[in-house]
Homo-oligomer: A and B are copies of this chain.
Amino acid sequence: VTATLSIGEFSKLTHLSVKALRHYHDVGLLVPAGVDSESRYRRYAPAQAADAQLIRRLRALDMPIEMVRTVVTSADDRSRQATIAAHLEAMEAELERTKDVVASLRALLQQPVLVADVARRRLPAQTALAIGAEVAAAHVEHWCGAAFGELRDTLDECGAEVDGPGGGLFSAAFFADDVGPVTVYVPVRSVPAAPGGRAEVIELPAGDVLVAVHHGPYADLDRTYAVVGAAANELGLAGDGAIRERYVVGPDATDDPHRLRTEVCWPIVDAA
């Protein structure tokens, strides 16, 4: 029989605060070995320190409690490792994004005013192979990359001839709510038979737009949006419908983000 520890003693052993320990009890993540039925005093076994140590480290890495529970209760070592690895990869991705934002912030501070030519253009109707979904702003870039990968695969399979750079359609709701319909597409010359996968054949309607070319990383795209959007508003022409991005030089064409070129196409009221 081993002696048990009060919550205060266990707190000193584990460096978890008393409040945290009570919370982990409440949510069933770290349940005391015993609870006095009368006084409701919690009693911890010294062996529970092992779980506490794991929990403390995972929480220090901001792993959500439900995920911590998955790790702590996982039967075998392999699935435990997999859950941890998934979180570490997510952290790594976050770090990359943070670096991009820092670069974007420095660029804004050094060059507060963006000069970009805005032109009016009529987009022709086009047939395209497309994938659409509800996408959260936080994951757009990743989602678009994956979707374009799928589109490339499908194009290879059905042997359709590509007709110009790929693009994306971003609904107003996507910007207003930080989540909403997004579609990426690749224009094709001939209509492929049965696309397969998530890809489908769509008809891009013709329409008038204001266009500016965005040079560089996608983290800075809002600056070009502001230029084109302000121009459309200034002219009193701002139309509705999705904003279109055309990846003239996309991530598949260059590894240097500063060589990326993206046309931002702002729909305006039709001249016709």
Q: Are A137 and B54 in contact (CB under 8 A)?
A: no
Q: Are A17 and B176 in contact (CB under 8 A)?
A: yes
Question: In the assembled complex, how far is the CB of residue A19 from the closest CB belonging to chain B, in whole angstroms?
Answer: 8
Provide the residues of chain B in CB contact with A95, threshold 8 Å: 95
Among B20, B60, B222, the residue within 8 A (CB) of A56 is: B222
Q: Are B176 and A230 in contact (CB under 8 A)?
A: no
The count of residues in chain A whose C-beta lies closer than 8 Å to any C-beta of chain B is: 57
Cβ-based interface call for A252 (8 A): no
Question: In the assembled complex, how far is the CB of residue A49 from the closest CB belonging to chain B, in whole angstroms?
Answer: 4
User: Which residues on A are within 8 Å of B, measured CB to CB?
Assistant: 2-3, 5, 8-9, 11-15, 17-20, 46, 49-50, 52-54, 56-58, 60-61, 81, 84, 88, 91, 95, 97-98, 101-102, 104-105, 108-109, 112, 137, 172, 175-178, 221-223, 225-226, 229-230, 233-234, 236, 238, 243
5 nearest A-B pairs in the assembled complex, by CB-CB distance: A46-B230, A49-B226, A13-B229, A17-B178, A57-B105
